[in-house]
Chains A and B, each alone.
Chain A
């Protein structure tokens, strides 16, 4: 997707190891979000950010932390990966705090915890 990239695209990791996923945007958007996608659950919000160093929890934040030291980068860390965190992770950005703007999504990171 233009203006937003996620890395890595695929990752296999072992239970108990820390993992960091990166979201990078070139749109200078203030709002950034991390979601996870699981069958039967749709997309669920993990954490979001409304500016540099300003972050907040979503509905499924346990076991995850985030950091945003620059406008363009939003990092998601699994502190100690578990099999229940096997999922597809999507980053999204929004132009404004206006609720009518919607998101632009990255292409996702498929994470497998073995």
Chain B
């Protein structure tokens, strides 16, 4: 089955440090890839998406992700973490012809410490 894998269910970084959240996909067809963020007791909010136009995608709140076909990866990064970035992050994948259905990874909880 086509899916996404998020490595690390919990990631902790210091404020000001680099944020790196990992996502790998498995498929034999070109994917569309998404990163969503969920703050406590809220729904999911779209951070950014890859739709084949450009491999480096910039999103909201200073986040970006790079699509690497050779590594089947779509890792999320931010140069300098803020306390407000503490949340859960989900990678998701979709494919043409699937009624826009998204398949989600299991999520990574980001903790930001002083």
Contacts and interface: CB of A to CB of B under 8 A. Distances in A.
Q: Do A and B bind each other?
A: yes
Contacts of B104: 35, 42-44
Interface string A77-97: 000000000000010101011
B99 A105 contact: no
A92 B107 CA distance: 18
A102 B43 contact: no
Interface residues of B, number: 29
Q: Could you say which interface size class chain A belongs to?
A: 20 to 34
A1 B43 contact: yes
Contacts of A96: 100
A108 B43 contact: yes
A50 interface: yes
A107 B42 contact: yes
Contact of B43 (A41, A58, A105): A105
B45 interface: yes
A23 to B, nearest CB: 11
A45 interface: yes
Interface of B: 9, 32, 34, 36, 41-46, 49, 51-52, 90, 92, 94-107
11 contacts: A33-B102, A40-B106, A42-B106, A43-B102, A48-B101, A58-B101, A99-B96, A102-B100, A104-B46, A105-B43, A107-B42
